[in-house]
Amino acid sequence: MPRSLRYLLRRLAQAVPIVLGIAIFNFMLVHMAPGDAVDVLAGEAGGANPEYVEQLREQFGLDQPLPVQLGKYLWSVASLDLGFSFRHNMPVVDIILQRLPATLMLMVCAIALAFSLGVFLGVTAARNVNRVLDRVISVGALLAYATPIFWIGLMLILLFSVRLGWLPSSGMETIGADYSGWARVVDLARHLLLPSVTLALFYMALYTRLMRASMLEVYGLDYITVARAKGVPERRVAYRHVLRNALLPMVTMLGLQVGSLLGGSVLVETVFGWPGLGRLAFEAVFQRDFNLLLGILLLCSVLVVLVNILVDLLYARLDPRIEVAG
């Protein structure tokens, strides 16, 4: 598909200035922060002597003029070098790549759960509009939409781990169990269940409300009246004629929510001790590891840009009326 390939390349080119802007902004943030990395290191060592501090500054290039430092920073970002974390004694990129899979797994599960349940509940509510079932679903969505994500996580732990003892309350695997094969998958799934439900709940509410509104809008269109007039059964009207067109705004929403989902995973991962990027960000805050923190911020932003390009491509595939301009 040369056309969509050209579109993809154009979108990637458009994303460059945005990522560049974020990188410059990142650089400014580090330099506005009170004290630099050397101060933190020196403070940790219990107040190093001034000469040593100067030597460290020189070593990290912190004594050079700002524009030179900015240039160097941008060059290193472009070559995928996000600096060094003195806490972990590792390059920032390596730490992030180590933690990324856990976060992606959590996010994919949460999105899948939120999307499928949201669509189902939204369709059900729309088919029973203004009846009891619709009211129950709508009130439930309203409540889930207003609940702090970290609090619902704690309440789920209280119920399912502390009281009932059905599911583990933290971590990704049972430590020291050394499962392999299916046993390991089951163990992982048991650990994954609560965090992904917690993260999914808010977005499920969002999708339910959007899906309901979107369904009701499509129900009012002429071609639905035609379908009914020619005797198409109501269930088929809902799932075949209305649902397909009502799904389109949901796809857009999916792209818009990625950034917020990453933010939510910081809270969820902190609550459930899930070893992903979010928990890493939380640790970085308290270790005052700004290199790492800003690396996470930059990488998450890049992730948002990429997912949005992907969603636009998907959108064009789902709706042939929308052409990707080559």
Partner 1 sequence: MKDELMAFAYRFARNRPAMAGVAILATVFLMAVLAYFVYPDSPWDMVAEPFLWPGQERAFWLGTDMLGRDLGAGIFHGARVSLLIGFVATLVAVIVGVAIGALAGYYGGWMDNVLMRLTEMFQTIPPFIFAIVLVAIFQPSVATIVLAIAVVSWPAVARLVRAEVLSLRGREFVQACVAIGMNDARIIFLHILPNTLAPVIVTGSLMVATAILTEAGLAFLGLGDPNVMSWGTIIGAGRDVLRSAWYVTAIPGVAILLTVLALNLVGEGLNDALNPRLKHR
Task: Give the residues lining the site for partner 1 (CB under 8 A).
Answer: 17-18, 21-22, 25, 29-30, 32-34, 142-143, 145-152, 154-155, 157-158, 162, 213, 216-217, 258-260, 262-264, 266-267, 270-271, 281-282, 285-286, 288, 290, 293-294, 296-297, 300-301, 304-305
Q: Output the DSSP codes for 97-148.
A: HHHHHHHHHHHHHHHHHHHHHHHHHHHHHHHTTTSHHHHHHHHHHHHHHHS-
- Cα-based distances in Å from 148 to 103, 191, 267: 20, 21, 10
Backbone angles phi, psi at 89, to 5 degrees: 55, 45
Nearest distance, CB of residue 182 and partner 1, angstroms: 31
For partner 1, give the closer residue by CB, 136 or 188. 136
Structure tokens at 230: 């020619």
Q: How far is it, in rounded angstroms, from Cα 214 to Cα 103?
A: 30
CA distance 286 to 284: 5
Strands (E), the chain: 84-85, 90-91
Rounded distance between C-alpha atoms, residue 318 and residue 312, angstroms:
10
Of the pair 78, 285, the CB lying nearest partner 1 is at 285
Let me know: does 13 contact 299? Beta carbons within 8 Å: no
Write down the least CB distance from residue 22 to partner 1, Å.
Answer: 6
Nearer CB in complex with partner 1: 83/264: 264
| 40 alpha-carbon distance from chain centroid | 30
CB of 305 to partner 1, least distance (A): 6
Least Å distance, CB 271 to partner 1, is 8
Query: C-beta of 202: minimal distance to partner 1 in Å?
Result: 9
Measuring CA to CA, how many Å separate 310 from each of 200, 260, 304? 21, 17, 10
To partner 1, the closest distance from the beta carbon of 14 in angstroms equals: 10
Integer Cα distance of 172 and 274 in angstroms:
6
Cα separation, 122 vs 308, whole angstroms: 24
Given the complex with partner 1, which of 107 and 243 has the nearer CB atom?
107
Of 55 and 245, which CB lies nearer to partner 1 in the complex structure? 245
Pick the closer one to partner 1 by CB: 55 or 270.
270
The residues that bridge with 84 in the sheet, in sequence order, are 91
Nearer to partner 1, 59 or 260 (CB): 260
At 293, which helix (H) or strand (E)?
A: helix 290-318
Nearer CB in complex with partner 1: 146/231: 146
Which is closer to partner 1, CB of 284 or CB of 324? 284
CB-based contact 274:106 (threshold 8 Å): yes
Minimum CB distance to partner 1, residue 114 (Å): 17
CB of 24 to partner 1, least distance (A): 10
What's the closest the beta carbon of residue 33 comes to partner 1, in angstroms? 4
